[in-house]
Structure formats: C-alpha cells, structure tokens
C-alpha cells in the first residue's frame, strides 16, 4: 500500500513529472518567444517560460524565488511589456521570412549552437559543479527558505541589497526623464496616441 511512499523516497515520478512539465513549459515558451510574429504572442510565450522557471524553482526548493519570479516577472515586467506594446500600438506582425543580412540566420544558428554546445561540453566535463559548498549558508527547506534568504540578504549581501535601492531609484528617475514630454514636442498625447495608433491587433488570419 505504500507505493507512493516508495516513490517518494526513490523520488522520481512526481519529480520527473514536475521537471518535464517545467522544462516543456520553458522550452515551448522560449521557442514561442522567438518564433511568434506578433509581439503580444511573444510576451505570452515569455510568461509561459517564466512559469516554467518558477516551477523548476519550486522543484529545487527555492519557493520564495518562485513566487517572486511570478510576481515580478509575470506580474510586473511582462505586464509592462504588454502595456507598452498596446500603448504604442506596435503590435503588428513582423515578417519573419526576410533575412536582413544574407546568411545572418544560419550564422546565428551556428553561433548559438556553438555556444550552447561548448557550455554543455565544458559543464559536463566539470561534472556540472565543483565549488565549495555552503559558503553563505545552507538552504534549510521550504519553511526556512525565506528566513535563510532574508538572513543572507541582510548580512552577506547587505551592500548589494542597498545598491538595489539605488538601482531602483535611478530606474525610476530614468524612466521619468525618458517618458517626460518636453514642452515643445507636441504630438505626445497619450490618449491621442492610443487612438491614432492602429488599435487592431493583427491576428493569425491576416
């Protein structure tokens, strides 16, 4: 009657399931991002990938990061992407057939294959790890995850944490500077822009 227990100790099935579901989400999403002709679809595929990554985070006991990943990436970053796409009305489809520079795409494929292959080869040569363990401190499971992480951030990474404050401030200032209309450029009305931009998404059937 204890098959699940057995499974639980020898791990595999649920973990494998979770891994493959997560991996499939990641890969399908990632490929979707780069082959979708419409940026909105790309953004949706990105969300899928982000979810997949979150799933794999949970699988590796980084629960806090998994949730933060969803909140920050899916909840803020991609929403921002979508907002800009819709706001600017740049959601028309892109012709993927044309190649700007002749041979650019095969070149990119070759380059990427080379990069990935060498990373994988080098990594497997090194058995994928080799560093000193628990330098900052061990991760002690789900209920301790936030506490461990919090402790690390407020001790070992205190300076980095403070820096992120500076980083966020500068990002806000920067965004405001960029988005601010200058008094004499006049075609920047938000609503007008929205209306003038073609509000129609171009579907697959176009």
Partner 1 sequence: MSIPSSWYLILSAILFGIGIFGVLVRRNVLVMFMCIELMLNAANLSLVTFSRTLNDVGGQADVFFILVVAAAEVVVGLGIVVTIFRRRATANADEISSMKG
Partner 2 sequence: MSLMNLLASGDPLYANGVNWVVILIVVIKVLLSFGICLVSVMLMIWGERKIISDMQSRIGPNRAGPWGMMQTLADGIKLFFKEDLIPDKSSRFVFKLAPFLSLVPALVVFAIVPLGGVVTIGGYTTEIQVADPPMGILLALALSAIGVYGVMLAGWSSGSKYPLMSSVRASAQMISYEAAMGMSVLTVVLVTSSLSTRTMVDSQGGGPWHWNVIRLGVVPFIIFLMAAIAETNRPPFDVVEADSELVGGFHTEYSSIRFALFYLAEFLNTVTMSAIMVTLFFGGPSGWIPPIPHLQWLFPILWFVGKTVAFCYLFIWLRGALPRARYDKLMELGWRRLIPLSLGWMLLVAGFLVSPWWGLGMIVAIVIGGVILGRAFKLGSELELSDTAVLPPVAKRIVPPELVRDLSDRDEKDESGS
Partner 3 sequence: MNLLASTIAMPNIDYLALSPEIILLVGATLVLLATSLVRGGMKRNMATGITLLLSVAALIASLLQWHRVSTQGATITIAKAISMDGFSAFIGVTIACSMILATLIGHVFLERERITTPEYHILSLVAASGAIVMAQANDLIVIFLGIEILSIALYVLVAFNPLRGESGEAALKYYVLGGFSSAVFVYGIALVYGATGSTNLGQISDFFAQNQLINTGLLYAGIALLLVGFGFKVAAVPFHVWTPDVYQGAPSPITGYMAAIAKVGGFAALIRVFIAAMGSQASTWQPIIYALAIATLLLGAIVALVQRDVKRMLAYSSIAHAGFILVGIEVGTLAGTSAALYYLFVYSIMTIGAFGIVTVLGGDGDGDHDLTRYRGLARRQPWLGGALVILLLAQAGIPFTTGFLAKLGVVSAAIQGGSWPLALVAMLSAGIGVAFYLRVAVIAVLPGQPEMDADTDTPASAVSAATSRSQTGLLLEESTTTQSEEAIVNVPLLGAIGIGLATLTTVVFGILPGPLLDFANSAAKIFQP
Footprint on residues 145-204 left by partner 2 (CB under 8 A): 145-146, 180-183, 186-187, 189, 191-192, 194-196, 199-204
76 within 8 A of 50, measured Cβ to Cβ: no
Choose which of 12, 60, 118, 193 interacts with partner 3 (CB under 8 A): 118
Choose which of 21, 23, 30, 75 interacts with partner 2 (CB under 8 A): 75
- Three-state secondary structure readout of the chain: CCHHHHHHHCCCHHHHHHHHHHHHHHHHHHHHHHHCCCHHHHHHHHHHHHHHHHHHHHHCCCHHHHHHHHHHHHHHHHHHHHHHHHHHCCCCCCCCCCCCCCCHHHHHHHHHHHHHHHHHHHHHHCCCCCCCCCCCCCCCCHHHHHHHHHHHHHCCCHHHHHHHHHHHHHHHHHHHHHHCCCCCCCCCCHHHHHHHCCCCCCCCCC
User: Counting contacts by CB under 8 A, is residue 155 touching partner 3?
Assistant: yes
**What is the smallest separation between the CB atom of 4 and partner 1, expressed in angstroms?**
15
Per partner kind, with CB cut-offs from 5 to 8 A, the member of partner 1, partner 2, partner 3, none near residue 70 is: partner 2
Per partner kind, with CB cut-offs from 5 to 8 A, the member of partner 1, partner 2, partner 3, none near residue 103 is: none
Choose which of 25, 26, 45, 47 interacts with partner 2 (CB under 8 A): 47
User: Counting contacts by CB under 8 A, is residue 122 touching partner 3?
Assistant: yes
| Residues at the contact surface with partner 2, assessed by CB under 8 A | 1-2, 4-5, 8-9, 11, 14-15, 18, 38, 40-41, 44, 47, 58-61, 63-64, 66-68, 70-71, 74-76, 79-80, 82-83, 86-87, 91, 141-143, 145-146, 180-183, 186-187, 189, 191-192, 194-196, 199-205
């Amino acid at each position: 009657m204890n098959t699940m227990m057995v499974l639980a100790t020898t791990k595999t099935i649920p973990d494998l399931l979770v891994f493959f579901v997560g991996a499939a989400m990641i890969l399908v999403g990632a490929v979707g991002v780069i082959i979708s002709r419409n940026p909105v679809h790309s953004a949706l595929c990105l969300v899928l990938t982000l979810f997949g990554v979150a799933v794999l985070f949970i699988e590796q006991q980084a629960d806090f990061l998994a949730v933060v990943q969803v909140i920050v990436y899916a909840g803020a970053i991609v929403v921002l992407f979508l907002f800009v796409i819709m706001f600017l009305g740049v959601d028309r489809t892109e012709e993927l057939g044309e190649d700007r520079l002749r041979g650019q795409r095969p070149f990119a494929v070759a380059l990427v294959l080379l990069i990935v292959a060498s990373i994988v080869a080098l990594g497997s040569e090194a058995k994928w790890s080799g560093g000193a363990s628990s330098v900052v401190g061990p991760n002690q499971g789900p209920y301790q995850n936030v506490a461990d992480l919090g402790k690390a951030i407020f001790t070992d990474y205190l300076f980095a944490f403070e820096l992120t404050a500076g980083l966020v401030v500068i990002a806000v200032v920067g965004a405001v500077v960029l988005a601010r209309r200058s008094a004499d450029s006049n075609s920047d009305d938000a609503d007008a822009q929205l209306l003038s931009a073609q509000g129609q998404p171009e579907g697959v059937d176009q």
